[in-house]
Chains A and B, each alone.
Chain A
Amino acid sequence: MFDFCTDPDLLEGSRWLACYLTTPKHMMFYQSFGVVIALLLVTAPIALFVGFLGALATRSHVAPLRWLGLGYSSIVRGVPDIAFFLFVPLALDQLLEWLRHEVKCPDWDEPIRQGNDFVVCAAAKLPLGSAPQIWHELYGITLAIVAFAFVFGAFASHVLSGAMNAVPRAQLETAEAYGMTRGQVTRRILVPQMWAYALPGLSNLWMILIKATPLLFLLGVEDIVYWARELGGSKTSAYSYPHPDWRLWYFTALLVFYLLMTKLSELAFARLERRFARGQATASGMRQARGGKGGPGAGGSKGATA
C-alpha cells in the first residue's frame, strides 16, 4: 500500500501497523464488511416481499392457502433459525440437482440416494464441475440469501399480518361501502395504512437481521467472521507480519461494527416512525396533526393520547 512497506522486517511502531493493516488480506477483510452490508440490502426487500405474500396468504379466503401461510410462519418461529440456515441451503441444493437430474439424464437407472451418498449425473451438478470458481461462490451466496429470506420472511409475515389486523376495521368497511372490491380495498386502503403499524415490528426485525449476518460464516461464505479468525490467529515468524493471537482485538472490532450498525439503524427508524405516523389515527399521528413536533420518544404535549 504505502511505498515504505517493501521490507516489513525493518518497520517499527506505527509504520509497521500502517503496513500491517493494509496488506492485501486486510483489504479483503475490509471488503467483506461491504459483502455483509450488500447482503443485508439484498435480503431485506426479498424477506419483506416473502413476508408480504405470507401475510396476504394468512388473510386469504382459500383455506389451504391460509393454512400454508399460518403453518409457514409458526413452524419457522418455533424452531431455532440456525437449524434453517443449515437445512435450507442443503435441501435446496439437492432439490435443484434432483430436478436437473430428472430433466437432463432421463435414462439414468441408478437410485439417487445410494447408502450415504447423494448421486446425480455429472450434467446435473450445480454449478457444473467445470465452472469457474466465481460461480461456485455466487451459488453459495445465493443459497445463503434464500435461507435468510426464508427465515426472515416468516417473521416479516407475522409482523405484517399483525399490522394488517391493526388497521381500523371501519376504514375497510367504508371502502367496501363505496363499492370497492376486495382487491381494491387491499391495494388502496389496507396496504398504504398498515406500514405505520408494522414499523415497530419491522425495525425490530431489521435489528435481528443485522445480528444474524455473522451466521453467513456457517454457510461457508468468506465473511467478516472468517477473516477475523484468519487474520487474528497467531502468526509465526514465517509470515511477513508475525504477531501473537490477536483474535480478541479482531472480534472487538466486529463487535464495535455491529454496535454502530444497530445504533445507526435505531436512529434512522426513529425518524422513519415519525414520518409514517403523519396523518394516522394513532396517538403520535394525532399529536403531529395538532402541531406538536413530537412523535414517539420526542416528548410533545402531555395528555395528547385521547
Chain B
Amino acid sequence: MMSCIDTIQAYGLRSIGLGERLLPRSDFTLCDQFVLIGSGMIWNLYFGLGALLLGFWASIGVALMRHSEAWWIRKPADWFVFVFRGSPLFIQFFLFYALFTQLPREGVPINLGFVEFTADTSWLTRAWGGALITLFLNTTAYTGEIFLGALRSVPKGDLEAADAYGFSGWQKFRRITFPTMLRLGWPAYTNEAIFLFHATTLVYFSSFPARQQKGDALYYADYFASKTFNPFIPYPILAMYFIALTLTVVLVYGVAYRRLTRHLPSNRKPRLKIRPQVVR
C-alpha cells in the first residue's frame, strides 16, 4: 500500500514514460486514479496546445487565401476547409494513420538536385507526430472558417480610415485588418479552442496506438473503468480535469479578449459565449 506521495512520484509522469513501468493492477486507490488520469492530461495539453499554436498561424493564411479575389488561390483553400469541416475527425485520424503507415519504413528519399537525403517517416505513425498533424490540419480548417467570417465583417469605415491615413499593403493589414479580424473572431475562436481540447481525447481511441501504455487522460480512465468494472469513479475524475481545463481556457482567452477590446467603450463589447461544436 503506497502513500499518495509515492504514487505521485511513481505515476505522475507515467504517460510520458517516466517512473514506474507497470500500471497498478489491483487494489486501485482513489489516489492512483487521480494521479494516472492527471498524468494522461499531459498528452491532452500537448496535442491541444501544439495544434492551437500551429493552427493559429496556418488558419490566418487559409482565411486570407479564401478572402482572395483570384480563384486559383481561393479554391484550394475552400476545398481544404470543406473536406476537413465536412468529415468526422475520427475518420480523419483513421485515414491519416492508414496513409502514414503506407509510407516506406526506411524513409522517403528526397532529391533536391543539389542535395539528396532520406526523410525519416517513422515518427508520422506515432501519435505525437501523426495525430498532432491531423489535429493541426483539422483545427486550421475550423479556425480558418472563423477568421474568414471575421475578415468579411471588418467594418468598411475602418478600412477607409486606414486608406485616408495613407496605410497600404502590409501596414494596413498589420495595423488595421488583422487586429480587427482577431477581435471579431475571438469569441468563436475561444469555443474552437475548448472543443479542440475535447477532441484530443479521440487520439488514442482512433487508430494511433498507445505504445507501452503511454496514453492520454481518457485512455487511463478507460483502463480503470475496464479493470474495476466501475465507471462511476474514473469518468467523473476525468470530467473534473476537463472542466478545470475548460475554465482555464475561458480565463486565458478572456484575458486576451480584454486586451483586444481595450479601446472599445464598455457597452459595445460583445461578451464571450460558449457554443457547442463538439465532435468533429
Q: Which residues does A use to contact B, with CB under 8 Å?
A: 75, 77-83, 86-87, 90-91, 94, 113, 115-118, 151, 155, 158-159, 201, 204-205, 208, 210-215, 217-218, 225, 228-229, 232, 245, 247-248, 251-252, 254-255, 258-259, 262-263
Residues of chain A contacted by B238 (CB below 8 angstroms): 79-80, 83
- Taking CB as reference atom, which chain B residue is nearest A245? B102
Given known A82-B279, A90-B225, A118-B229, contact A258–B88 (CB-CB < 8 A): yes
Restricting to B82-104, which residues have a CB under 8 Å from any CB of A?
82-83, 85-92, 94-95, 98-99, 101-102
10 closest A-B pairs by beta carbon, nearest first, are A80-B198, A211-B88, A251-B95, A248-B98, A262-B86, A247-B98, A212-B279, A214-B90, A87-B235, A258-B87
- Does B221 make an interface contact (CB < 8 A)? yes
Q: A118 to B230, alpha carbons, bound, how many Å?
A: 8
CB pair A91 B231 closer than 8 Å: yes
Restricting to B66-92, which residues have a CB under 8 Å from any CB of A?
82-83, 85-92
A interface footprint on B213-224 (CB within 8 Å = 1, 0 otherwise): 000001001100
- Does B274 make an interface contact (CB < 8 A)? yes
Residues of chain A contacted by B23 (CB below 8 angstroms): none
- Taking CB as reference atom, which chain B residue is nearest A259? B86
- Does B280 make an interface contact (CB < 8 A)? yes
CB pair B276 A204 closer than 8 Å: yes
Given known A82-B279, A155-B278, A248-B98, contact A213–B88 (CB-CB < 8 A): yes
Q: A158 to B191, alpha carbons, bound, how many Å?
A: 15
Given known A113-B230, A212-B279, A259-B87, contact A77–B274 (CB-CB < 8 A): yes
Q: Which residues does B use to contact A, with CB under 8 Å?
A: 26, 82-83, 85-92, 94-95, 98-99, 101-102, 197-199, 201-202, 205, 218, 221-222, 225, 227-232, 235, 238-239, 242-243, 246, 274-280
Q: A64 to B89, alpha carbons, bound, how many Å?
A: 37
Q: A208 to B142, alpha carbons, bound, how many Å?
A: 13
Residues of chain B contacted by A151 (CB below 8 angstroms): 278
Q: Which of B227, B230, B279 has the most CB of A within 10 A?
A: B279
Residues of chain B contacted by A232 (CB below 8 angstroms): 98
26 contacts between A and B (CB under 8 A): A77-B274, A78-B239, A80-B201, A82-B201, A82-B202, A83-B239, A87-B225, A91-B232, A94-B231, A118-B229, A155-B278, A201-B275, A208-B276, A208-B277, A210-B88, A212-B278, A212-B279, A215-B90, A218-B205, A225-B90, A245-B98, A248-B102, A255-B83, A258-B87, A258-B91, A259-B83
CB pair A116 B229 closer than 8 Å: yes
CB pair A82 B205 closer than 8 Å: yes
Residues of chain A contacted by B205 (CB below 8 angstroms): 82, 218
- Taking CB as reference atom, which chain A residue is nearest B205? A218
Residues of chain B contacted by A217 (CB below 8 angstroms): 90
> Which of A77, A82, A214, A252 is in CB contact (< 8 Å) with B218?
A82
Q: A158 to B278, alpha carbons, bound, how many Å?
A: 13
